[in-house]
Structures are given as C-alpha cells and as structure tokens.
Structure 1
Amino acid sequence: MRYGQTSIVNFVSRLVMSFSGFFATIVLTRTLGQEQYGTYVVVLSVLAWVVMAAQLGLPAAIRKRVSESDDGNFVLSGIASQFGLYLVVAVSLWVGRPYLNGFIGIEATWIIIVILATRLGVVIIRSVLDGQHLVHISSILDPIEWTSRSIIQVSLVVSGFGIGGAFAGYAIGALVATIIGAYFVSVPTSLPSRYEFQRLKSFAQFSWVGSIKGRTFMSMDTIALAAFVPHSQIAIYEVAWSLAGIFSIFGGSIRRTLFPELSKISSESDARDEISGLLRVSLAYSGLFIIPGLVGSALVGDVVLTIYGTGFDAGYYIFLILIFARLLYGYMGQFMSTINALDRPEITFYINIVFVIVNLIMNVVLILEFGWYGAATATMASSGLGLLLGYYYTRQIVDVVIPVREIFKQMVAAGIMALIVLLGQILIDSSLPVVIILICIGVTVYFVSLLSFSKEFRTIVEENLPFTLPMFSSK
C-alpha cells in the first residue's frame, strides 16, 4: 500500500473517530452539565498520566523493534513486560486511593484501575500492528473504539446512568478494539529470550520521556487547571482542546504511517536521501488541514462552540491559541519521529526533557497569573520551543528541506477560503446553521484552490486515488 493511501486510511479512520467523539461530547456536555463533565475530564486526565506511568516508553519500543526485522519475539516480550508494569501501577493506585480520590473529588480509583487495563491493551495491540507495517489495520481500531465508546456512553448517560455510564462506555470501547486488533497480530512461534527484553529496554529507557512529553502536551494544562479553577471551566477548556485536535489529525496520520517505513529504511541501509525526502513530504502536508482550520476558526469558532451548550463560546480565544499550539506540535512531531526512526532516542530524550520542564513551569506560573489563558499559552510556547529543538537536532543527522512553497500555497488557499466565508457571513448572517453551510463551502474552496495552485499536491492526490478524476485526465 502506498504511503499516501495508508495515510488517508489512517486519516479517515481518525476523522470518523473524532466526529463520533464530537457528537458524543455534545450529548455528554448537555446531559451531564459543565460541572459533571468537568469531573469526567479530570478523571480521564489523571488516567492518561497513569497510563503513561504504566507504559514507561514500552509501546514506542515495541513499535521500533518489531518494525526493524522479523528476528526475535518482541510481541510476547512486550506483552509480558506490559502486564508486569500494570500490576505494579494497579497496586500503587489502590494503596494511594485516599489521596487520589481526594484530588479528583469522587471515588474514582477503582474506575481508573479497570479502565487502565483496557487502555494498555489497545495501545499495545496498536503498537504491534504499526511495527508489523499494518498501520492501515491499526488505524481502523481508532474509529471502532471511539464509535463503540460513543454509542455506549450516549445510551447509558441518556438512560440515566450519569457519569458512571460515561466511564463504562470508555472501558468497553477500548476492550472491543483490543479484541478485534488482536485477531490481526502475528505472533512469532519462538519464546522470547532475555535478548528481546534487553532490546526493548534499550529503546524504552529513552522513549519513556517521549510519552511524558506527549502526555504533558495533551493534559498537563488540564491537571494544572484542576488545582486552580472550577470543573465547569475545565469542561469548556477541554472542549476547545478536543475540537482543535480534529484539525491536527492528518499530520498525526502522516507521522504514524511513515515511522515504520523510516525505521525499516534506516535499519537496512544508510539511505539518508530517501529519509530526507520522506521528512520533506511529512512537513509539507502536516498542516494541510490545521492551517485552514486555524483561519476558519478565527472567523466562526465562537459560533461553532455554542453547539456544546450555553457558555461554551467563552472558550473562543482559548480555542484559537490551542489550534496554533497543535500546529506547532504537529511540525515538531515530524522531526521527533524522524529522529526516533533513525534510532537516536537519546536526542529525543533530551528534547522531551526540556519540553516537559518548560511546559510544567510555564503552566504553574502562567495559570496563577492569567488562569486558563496562561495554560493555553504555556502549551503553545513549549510546542514552539520543541519545534525549534527538533529542527536543530534533526539537521545534525539528516538533510532537512523545509517545503516553504507548499506551506505558503496552503496559506494562500486558506486566505481565499476565509474571504468566501467572511463574505457569506456579511451577506447572510452568522447563525449556527448558516455557519455550518459556510464551513462546507469553505472546505471545498480551500481544496479546489490548493489543487489549482500546487502541481505537487495534484500529483500526490492523483497517485493515491484508486480512480482518475476529470481534472487530472488531461495532465
């Protein structure tokens, strides 16, 4: 399967996942209310950090070692290692449950322990599938998990089970995806030896900071806010964050698709030119959706946020800051993925340490001074710093070609889209139904404009479509 097709499969899967979560979130926010939904968000944020602690970089190590060759049994050794880590973390959580429950505000420890098992299962299965170059299959697990979760959550919450129904749906969705994904995993017949565990450890000892970096980016601000602001405000912040995440899906899909290919190339030969070319492609299209997403949100973001209920439009400026943070982090991710694929985890270890420390300090300082605007700014600033460091260190090991022309063309196309949307608002109005129609028109204008401007984009689209479009037939 071509890289572009695999990326599209991953993107469409994650898009389905995001929209199923989008509609479920609307139901949850309107049914549970801001306060209870905020509590739900805090529990999941704590869970995310617990998941990270129970992994210690293991998924990244499994993905890397499995992708390199067929020698050894990194599948069973990875699963065995993960099970041992889960037991340690689960016992620690139960011992410290009085403090954990006190921070969250409800009896949530046993919920976290149960959901933790299902989350670890689906993450390990995805890592193995990615390492076995089955990204197109592992990608399908995302919409399966989120759709299952959303259907169950909505059914239970609407039926009167409240926040408990939301947690049950979360766990069952992950369990369903784990069972389906396990069917496609190829397990070597040989028993794992000490060598496999050592090889996993050699990568995980550096990559664990990467998981902290990722978790810091995703939820450090939420955890910090939980100590200083009401849960109702956290609900608005999290909705803005989740909505911003929809625009960054395609960049993540490219990164996830190219990593096993880059890893395989680097382990077989010193094909630095090919690696540099793939990095350029990933940078060129990392912002394909998020650049117009930022421009469009500046025009209609406040109206879109009202979908979640009264008062959510208060997160408009937070929404814009977080989209820009996602944009910076997406480009940073392409550099970090390339460095890891080249088996230089010690470099990403250093970058991740700097990112985590800066993000933590800025969150505490800026939240105390500026509240939730400080949290969003801390996320944006640390992402910018990480991008600069990623670029600097990637240049030390491979040629980096920044596709300035392609990125500029995306910005021009986004500008044309903005003019059309703005004109529609002036001539008609800015009500929610009209804005939804304008968004659809704007997306169409953006891609038609980009196809007109960019020969490279037209070529990529043509090569990865299973059929020929009329606009390409005369090429």
Structure 2
Amino acid sequence: MDLGRSSVKLFLMQAGRSILLFLAVIYFARQLGASELGSLFLFQALLGLLTIPADLGVRGALEKRLSEGDHREGMLGSALALKLVLLGVVAVSIVLARSYVNRYIGFELAFILVVALITFELSSFFVQALRGELRVGETAVIRFAIRFIWVGLGVVLVTFGYGVIEIAAGFALAGAITAVWGYARCNTAIGRPSLEHARSLLEYAKFHAVSSTGGRIYQWMDVAIIGFFLSQEYVSTYEVAWQVTLLVLLVSKSIGWSIFPQVSQWDAEGELDKVEWAVSKAIAFALFFSLPALIGGTLFASEILGFLFGPEYVFGAAVLVILLVEKVFQSFDDIIESALRGLDRPDLAAITTVITAGLNLVLNPVLVVTVGFVGAAIATTVVGLISVALHTHYLSRLMTIEFPYRIVGWYALSSLVMGAILVGIRSAVPITSVGSLLAVIGVGAAIYGVLAVSIPRIRNEVIVPAIRVLV
C-alpha cells in the first residue's frame, strides 16, 4: 500500500464529504429553520450512538484481522454473522421503544432509524473490509458516494417542500446503495462462519469496542445531551458550529485512516523504525491546518455563523471558538490513536476511552445544566485534551514519539502573524456580506501559505513532500 497516495485520496474524499455536508447544512439551516434542523441532528445523533451496540468493535476487528492476511474468507463471514446478530438486537430494541424515540426527536422517525442503522452499518462494514485488504485509497469513492447521494437527495427533497422525515429516509437509501457497492468491491469472499474465527475477532473487538465507543460519544453525546435538556434551537446551533470546526480535521482524519493498516503491517514485520518515522511526519502534516484555523476562526466566529447560516445562529460564536481549540487536540489525537491501535494495543486505547467517555458522560450534563450549551463545548474540549495526553503516554511506552516541535512552533508563529494582519484588514474593511467574509478568509489563507513557504523547515519537510505525493 502506498501510504502517501492513500492519504491524498482519503484527504480529497474527506474534503469533498465535508464540503458537501457543510454546504448542505447551510442550505438546510436557511430552508428548514433552527427547530426542524435540530430534529434532524437529533436523528443523526441517535443513529451515531446506536452504532455503538450495533457494532461493539466488530468492524475494527475485521479490519485488523484482514490486514494480517490469515483466513480472510472465514474472518469476513464470521464478522458478518456477528454484525447481523447485533443489528437484529438493536433494531428490535428501537421498535419496542419507538414512542420514546419519536418523542425525543420530535418526528415519527423510529422505523426509518432502524433501516438507516442497518444500511449505514453494512456500508461501513464493507468499507472497513476494504481497508483490511490494504486498499484504503479505494474506500475514498465509496465514502464520498454515501455523502453525495444523501446530500443530493436531501437538497432535492427540501427544494420541493419535503422535510426531516424524507431527508432521513434519503440517508437510509444512501447507506443501502453504498453497502451493495462496498460488497461488490471486496476481493475477499464471504466464507463460512466459525467459532474459531469469531473468537479471534472478539478477542480484538472487546478492546476496540471500547475505543470506538469513545469516538461515537465524542461526536454525538454533547448533541444528545443538549437535546435532552434544551430545545432543538440549541441543538442546531451547536451542531452548526461543530460542522464548521470539522473542516479542520480533514488532513488528520485522512492520515489516521491511512496509517492504521500500514502500521499494523509494519508491526507484524517488526519494522518499528518505520512506524516512528511515519507518526512524526503525520503529526507535522496534521497540525499544518489546525493552528491557523484556530486563529482565523476565533477572529471571525460571529461573521461565519451569521453570514453563512443566518443571524439566529450568531449566539453560538463562543461554542465555535471553544470547539476550534478542541480540534487542535483532536488533529494530534487522530494520529496517535491510530498508531496505538495499529501496534495491536487496542487495550490501551480502550483504557483511554473508558476514562474519557466517563468524564464526558459526567461533564456534559453537569456543564450543560449549569453553564448552558457552551458547557457542552467546554466538556468536549477538556475530554479531548485528556484523551490526547493519555494516548500519547501509552504510545510513548511502545515507541519513541518524535514530536516536531520546531515545525509546530513555526506554524504557531505564522498563524499569529496572519491573525495580526487580518485584524488590521478587518478594521479597515468591515465585513458586510458572505463575499467579503470569503475574501478575507482567502487572504488569510494566502498569507499563511506565503509565510509557510518562506520557512525552510516547513518547506522542506512538509510542503515539498506533500507536492511530491500529489504529482
């Protein structure tokens, strides 16, 4: 597997997915209103959280075992059998609790939630099977397709006057299409399930289930708790701010997905020096965007929310700034956590998840009740900092982590210079429209790019290697 080119493919995919969703959220925010959009986000939050019991680490275990190269057909068949059993249990539970589910979301969506969960999980299952075959780059098109199909259907439906129920149904349909597509792309045949292979999968899954739970809790628990204590308007405003900050993670997520199967292979071959080199370079690439995004986002938080989504979302500016800080931690954590799992230590990632998930479950409701929905952002940021500290501690026990201090220092200095110039520009030219906001953001990106290119270390160790991979 070509690690660099796989990362580029995944970056382009993730960039496309994120931009599509970002534009869709802008459109939905303006067409549906804050309350109805909040119900759509609660549907997604429930879907995201329900993938925890519907998976229990099976997908991650499948990726790991397939990447090791042994008994692939039996592993795939056994993993699929486990997956279908789990999906059946969760689906029945949703149906039995449908009245509570519908009341929480605000629409009759329980049955659509069942279908969406099944199709989404099967789509993700076959995508991770492709990763396990060390074909990470090929998953880019499929992952992009599920977002493209759903967003396309959603925009068309909203344009013709439909609402949340139809958009949710479109998500379920997109999952079904990409599940079939992912299955067709797999080279590994579905073998006969066996207890031996099931035990092997469960041995890894029992730890990965905990670590993957952390990701779902991180992504959706704050929204779910806001929806429980506050109105849908707060839910939509928080999630709008969250979607803006997700753009910061385009690079780190792509690299994290790429290095996991490669680190797994290098670990199996005893080439730890290659893992250490890859992790150091990955950190340098991941933080290239998150630091300037923090500075720029802090300066223009109100304008971003007000001009892009509508004036009713401006009160989420503080949430946006806090979540940008959290994304700096997360961009680093994406690399460290992927390397830790690739070194076959899901137990250590699981310990981190138990600690951070527990803190999240305590801090989020406490701070939401006492501080308001800003408290959810504070809780998520605190938990993010603790997560990266614990993952780094555990990974440093397995290998030497060469953190690129000088390069990150140059990132910080360049970002501050960019910020100072932008403050001067804003004082001279007020931002009064979407066009002027995008122009200022473009100027800031250009300033940071020029500063980065002018620094030899960044140019030689980050920009030039990136250009070589692209060409």
Partners of 1:250 and 1:63 lie apart in 2 by 21
User: 1:450·1:457 contact (CA, 8 Å) conserved in 2?
Assistant: no
Structure 1 window deviating more from structure 2 (276-285 vs 367-376): it is: 276-285
Amino acid at match of 1:108: L
Output one character per residue of 1:109-152: Cα deviation in whole Å (capped at 9) or x when no partner.
Answer: 11110111111011101111111111111122222111111111
Partners of 1:175 and 1:420 lie apart in 2 by 49
Pairing 1:371-386 to 2, within 5 Å after superposition: 371-386=372-387
Partners of 1:181 and 1:288 lie apart in 2 by 32
Partners of 1:370 and 1:189 lie apart in 2 by 51
User: 2:72·2:188 contact (CA, 8 Å) conserved in 1?
Assistant: no
Counterpart of 2:466 (choices 452, 461, 465) is 461
User: Which residue of 1 is the match for residue 303 of structure 2?
Assistant: 303
User: Which residue of 1 is the match for residue 111 of structure 2?
Assistant: 110
User: TM-score, normalised to structure 2's length?
Assistant: 0.95
Amino acid at match of 1:121: L
User: Which residue of 2 is the match for residue 78 of structure 1?
Assistant: 79
Partners of 1:329 and 1:189 lie apart in 2 by 36
Task: Go from structure 1 to structure 2 and tell me whether the alpha carbon gap of 1:392 and 1:184 turns closer, same or farther (over 3 Å shift).
Answer: same
Output one character per residue of 1:321-373: Cα deviation in whole Å (capped at 9) or x when no partner.
Answer: 11111221222232221111111111111111001001111112111110111
User: Which residue of 2 is the match for residue 67 of structure 1?
Assistant: 67
User: Which residue of 1 is the match for residue 210 of structure 2?
Assistant: 209
Output one character per residue of 1:370-410: Cα deviation in whole Å (capped at 9) or x when no partner.
Answer: 01111100000011111111111111111111111111122
Q: Which runs of 5+ in 1 are unaligned?
A: 467-475
User: Which residue of 1 is the match for residue 161 of structure 2?
Assistant: 160
Partners of 2:42 and 2:191 lie apart in 1 by 43
Structure 1 window deviating more from structure 2 (410-419 vs 290-299): it is: 410-419
Partners of 1:171 and 1:421 lie apart in 2 by 43
SS in 2 for 1:161: coil
Give the C-alpha shift of residue 425 in structure 1.
1.7
SS in 1 for 2:311: coil
User: 1:41·1:235 contact (CA, 8 Å) conserved in 2?
Assistant: yes
User: TM-score, normalised to structure 1's length?
Assistant: 0.94
User: Which residue of 1 is the match for residue 137 of structure 2?
Assistant: 136
SS in 1 for 2:452: helix
User: Which residue of 1 is the match for residue 427 of structure 2?
Assistant: 426
User: Which residue of 2 is the match for residue 233 of structure 1?
Assistant: 234
Partners of 2:158 and 2:119 lie apart in 1 by 21
Structure 1 window deviating more from structure 2 (376-385 vs 279-288): it is: 279-288
Structure 1 window deviating more from structure 2 (52-61 vs 271-280): it is: 271-280
Give the C-alpha shift of residue 192 in structure 1.
4.0
Amino acid at match of 2:20: S
Amino acid at match of 1:279: V
Give the C-alpha shift of residue 436 in structure 1.
0.3
User: Which residue of 1 is the match for residue 38 of structure 2?
Assistant: 38
Partners of 1:417 and 1:221 lie apart in 2 by 32
Structure 2 residue 417 is the aligned partner of structure 1 residue 412: no
Give the C-alpha shift of residue 29 in structure 1.
1.2
User: 1:60·1:127 contact (CA, 8 Å) conserved in 2?
Assistant: yes
SS in 2 for 1:429: coil
Give the C-alpha shift of residue 89 in structure 1.
1.0
Partners of 1:82 and 1:58 lie apart in 2 by 7
- Indicate the RMSD between aligned Cα atoms, in angstroms: 1.6
| Overall identity of the aligned pairs, in % | 25
User: 1:295·1:418 contact (CA, 8 Å) conserved in 2?
Assistant: yes
User: Which residue of 1 is the match for residue 284 of structure 2?
Assistant: 284
User: 1:35·1:235 contact (CA, 8 Å) conserved in 2?
Assistant: yes
Task: Go from structure 1 to structure 2 and tell me whether the alpha carbon gap of 1:408 and 1:159 turns closer, same or farther (over 3 Å shift).
Answer: same
Structure 2 residue 22 is the aligned partner of structure 1 residue 17: no
User: Which residue of 1 is the match for residue 451 of structure 2?
Assistant: 449
User: Which residue of 1 is the match for residue 360 of structure 2?
Assistant: 359
Partners of 2:34 and 2:290 lie apart in 1 by 27
Partners of 1:28 and 1:276 lie apart in 2 by 44
Amino acid at match of 1:167: A
User: 2:112·2:172 contact (CA, 8 Å) conserved in 1?
Assistant: no
SS in 2 for 1:332: helix
User: 1:335·1:394 contact (CA, 8 Å) conserved in 2?
Assistant: yes
Task: Go from structure 1 to structure 2 and tell me whether the alpha carbon gap of 1:353 and 1:62 turns closer, same or farther (over 3 Å shift).
Answer: same
SS in 2 for 1:227: helix
User: Which residue of 1 is the match for residue 438 of structure 2?
Assistant: 436
Task: Go from structure 1 to structure 2 and tell me whether the alpha carbon gap of 1:203 and 1:400 turns closer, same or farther (over 3 Å shift).
Answer: same
User: 1:335·1:390 contact (CA, 8 Å) conserved in 2?
Assistant: yes
Partners of 1:39 and 1:381 lie apart in 2 by 27
Give the C-alpha shift of residue 291 in structure 1.
1.3
User: 2:76·2:190 contact (CA, 8 Å) conserved in 1?
Assistant: no
SS in 2 for 1:186: coil
Structure 1 window deviating more from structure 2 (236-245 vs 279-288): it is: 279-288
Task: Go from structure 1 to structure 2 and tell me whether the alpha carbon gap of 1:18 and 1:72 turns closer, same or farther (over 3 Å shift).
Answer: closer
How many pairs align?
465
Partners of 2:321 and 2:202 lie apart in 1 by 40
User: Which residue of 2 is the match for residue 469 of structure 1?
Assistant: none
Give the C-alpha shift of residue 190 in structure 1.
4.9
Partners of 1:389 and 1:458 lie apart in 2 by 30
Output one character per residue of 1:410-441: Cα deviation in whole Å (capped at 9) or x when no partner.
Answer: 22222233234333322222123112012122
Pairing 1:385-400 to 2, within 5 Å after superposition: 385-400=386-401
Give the C-alpha shift of residue 2 in structure 1.
3.5
Structure 1 window deviating more from structure 2 (299-308 vs 70-79): it is: 70-79
Give the C-alpha shift of residue 70 in structure 1.
4.3
Amino acid at match of 2:255: I
Partners of 2:439 and 2:165 lie apart in 1 by 36
Partners of 2:418 and 2:167 lie apart in 1 by 38
Task: Go from structure 1 to structure 2 and tell me whether the alpha carbon gap of 1:419 and 1:2 turns closer, same or farther (over 3 Å shift).
Answer: farther
Partners of 1:98 and 1:461 lie apart in 2 by 52
Partners of 2:467 and 2:282 lie apart in 1 by 18
User: Which residue of 1 is the match for residue 28 of structure 2?
Assistant: 28
Give the C-alpha shift of residue 4 in structure 1.
2.3
Give the C-alpha shift of residue 188 in structure 1.
3.6
